[in-house]
Chain A
Amino acid sequence: DIQMTQSPSSLSTSVGDKITITCRASQDVRNFLAWYQQKPGKVPHLLIYAASTLQSGVPSRFSGSGSGTDFTLTISSLQPEDVATYYCQKYNSAPFTFGPGTKVDIK
């Protein structure tokens, strides 16, 4: 099965900063990659699918890129409401595996 990794596992930065989270698949998943945001105590929400397509209603400061095995989620200007754990998920085939998550906090 394809394994998913994310880096960093956590980061703490300032409001307004640009942050980048990396997701890596152990094999080619083409562009079948989604990103989710889970705020503390809340259910996950879909941010991005097809590696770079923003889900309806998601702020434009979020963007995704990549294809094959290497992907990134970028927040162009971090806001206080972006404090959350972010997960990637590959969906080129079952199992629809999630990455281990990246926890984002505000300094």
Chain B
Amino acid sequence: EEQLLESGGDLVQPGGSLRLSCAASGFTFSSYAMTWVRQAPGKGLEWVSSISGSGDDTYYADSVKGRFTISRDNSKNTLYLQMNSLRDEDTALYSCAKVAGYCSSGGCYWYFDYWGQGTLVTVSS
């Protein structure tokens, strides 16, 4: 059974940093791209970042580009999101998700077929 377990969420001051983790099990982690999606309280889903199975290719939303870094350790079956220069508007439940779809010469066509429960990040002074 596929499982994704996020951790690392916390209350942090504006300008601070945080590293989220997502521990995966029940599937061959290195064979799948992974993604982070966030949901602010009472709001909709916002795609944040995705990474290929090898870790060689990464993608970011404009809202986090230059501040957040996605990475993975396939030996530990773990996905990470390093968040720096946090802002009030980064307050959200951050969920990792397993990517379905494929990549070709035309690009990567990724949607998300399994989601974790999420970890809450609150940015406030």
What are the 10 A-B residue pairs with the smallest beta carbon separation, nearest first? A94-B59, A34-B111, A43-B115, A98-B45, A101-B44, A96-B47, A91-B111, A46-B113, A93-B107, A49-B111
Contact with B along A48-89 (1 / 0, CB 8 A): 010000010000000000000000000000000000010101
- Contacts of A6-48 to chain B: CB distance below 8 A: 32, 34, 36, 38, 43-46
B contact set with A: CB distance below 8 Å: 35, 37, 44-47, 50, 59, 61-62, 95, 100-101, 107-118
Nearest Cβ in chain B — how far from A84, in angstroms? 13
A contact set with B: CB distance below 8 Å: 1, 32, 34, 36, 38, 43-46, 49, 55, 85, 87, 89, 91-101
Number of A-B contacts (CB under 8 A): 66
A101 to B35, alpha carbons, bound, how many Å? 20
Closest chain A residue to B107, Cβ basis: A93
A44 to B101, alpha carbons, bound, how many Å? 17
Contact indicator A43/B100 (Cβ below 8 Å): no
Choose one: A1, A36, A49, A92; the contact of B45 (CB below 8 Å).
Answer: A36
Q: Is chain A's interface secondary structure helix, strand, loop, or mixed overall?
A: loop
Closest chain A residue to B4, Cβ basis: A43
Residue pairs across A and B with Cβ atoms less than 8 A apart, 25 shown, are: A1-B62, A32-B109, A34-B112, A36-B45, A36-B112, A38-B45, A43-B115, A43-B116, A43-B118, A44-B112, A45-B115, A49-B111, A85-B44, A91-B101, A91-B109, A91-B111, A92-B107, A93-B107, A93-B109, A95-B61, A96-B35, A96-B59, A96-B111, A98-B45, A98-B47
A100 to B50, alpha carbons, bound, how many Å? 20
Contact indicator B50/A94 (Cβ below 8 Å): yes
Q: Which residues of B contact A36 (CB under 8 A)?
A: 45, 112
